[in-house]
Amino acid sequence: MGRVSQPAIAVRDLHVRFGDVEAVSGVDLVADAGHATALLGRNGAGKSTTMKVLAGVVPPSAGQVLVAGHDASTDPLGVRRSVGYCPDVGGLVPRATPWEHLQLSASLRRMPAWEARGRELLERFELGDVAHRVVGGFSHGMSRRLSVVLAALHEPAVLLLDEPFDGVDPIGVEATLEVIADARARGACTLVSTHLRELAMQACTSAVVLRGGARVATMDAGDLTGEAYRALLD
Ligand SMILES: Nc1ncnc2c1ncn2[C@@H]1O[C@H](COP(=O)(O)OP(=O)(O)OP(=O)(O)O)[C@@H](O)[C@H]1O
């Protein structure tokens, strides 16, 4: 049987080159609306570079990338409008407060009446008390939590979380799992890059494994416990 609708993310034979380095060399990836998919693989496998292409911030060198129906090569702005992206590092302005980050994000997206959701998200991630403190003094985990809040604020059709659990305490992990569950419930497509297999299994229904810049497997998240997954990494 064929698909009745287009997948939210459809990547075919993606290549990304930075000068002489081929960071991604032939990734195929499909992710559906209403599901969360884990993106796994060892350091340097190409996860973050693939995420950057899906976020519309790095152009594909070759291959086809469709995000919520927008082509990343010809319509990167359409891609950026469709996604909420938590980058692996950076993305925050050290001299701005969490609230100012939310204000900027909301005004760039012309969001009406975003304040209640912004406040609720900050509270959920236990950032309410520091909402008006500049983020330059934040710990790594606090910055990670704010990056997830910013990715989720506008309830995007495609939520891209690159290492959202990295260095985050249990409250932050719980809040991030809730954000992913909410996204699934409202029919968004979520892609989560992580090294934490247990959390990938908790958050996601399926998993895509990359190695050396290419996809080596797509599997049910429930099968990540097995030896088969371990063998895929080496
Ligand atoms: N801007 C860049 N310039 C040159 N090489 C790059 C650049 N970005 C990534 N690479 C290289 O591309 C490869 C894939 O990197 P990427 O960051 O996508 O991997 P990753 O799977 O996210 O790794 P990690 O788990 O360590 O975050 C690596 O060899 C990396 O050194």
pLDDT of residue 94: 97
The ligand 1 atom at the shortest distance from the C-alpha of residue 42 is 25
pLDDT of residue 9: 96
**Would 79 be classed as within a structural domain?**
yes
**Would 1 be classed as within a structural domain?**
no
Report ipTM (2 d.p.): 0.97
**Domain assignment of residue 76, given as a range:** 9-227
Residue ID of nearest Cα to ligand 1 atom 26: 43
**Would 117 be classed as within a structural domain?**
yes
pLDDT of residue 4: 53
Q: Number of folded domains in the chain?
A: 1
Q: Which two tokens stand for residue 84?
A: 């909420």
pLDDT of residue 64: 97
Give me the DSSP letters along 152-188. Answer: HTT--SEEEEESTTTT--HHHHHHHHHHHHHHHHTT-
CA–centroid distance, residue 43 to ligand 1 (Å): 8
End-to-end C-alpha distance for the chain, whole angstroms: 35
pLDDT of residue 233: 76
**Would 2 be classed as within a structural domain?**
no
Residue 156 neighbours by CB distance under 10 Å: 20
- For 183-199, write each residue's pLDDT tens digit: 999 999 999 999 999 99
Report the distance separating Cα 147 and Cα 105, nearest Å.
Answer: 11
- For 71-82, write each residue's pLDDT tens digit: 999 999 999 999
Residue numbers in the chain where pLDDT is lower than 50:
1-3
pLDDT of residue 45: 94
Q: Which two tokens stand for residue 80?
A: 């950026």
> Is the C-beta atom of 18 inside 6 A of ligand 1?
yes
Report the distance separating Cα 172 and Cα 72, nearest Å.
Answer: 31
pLDDT of residue 2: 45
CA–centroid distance, residue 193 to ligand 1 (Å): 13
> Is the C-beta atom of 89 inside 6 A of ligand 1?
no
CATH at residue 52: 3.40.50.300
**Would 24 be classed as within a structural domain?**
yes
> Is the C-beta atom of 215 inside 6 A of ligand 1?
no
**Would 107 be classed as within a structural domain?**
yes
**Would 233 be classed as within a structural domain?**
no
To which residue do tokens 């934490």 refer? 196
CA–centroid distance, residue 3 to ligand 1 (Å): 33
**Would 4 be classed as within a structural domain?**
no
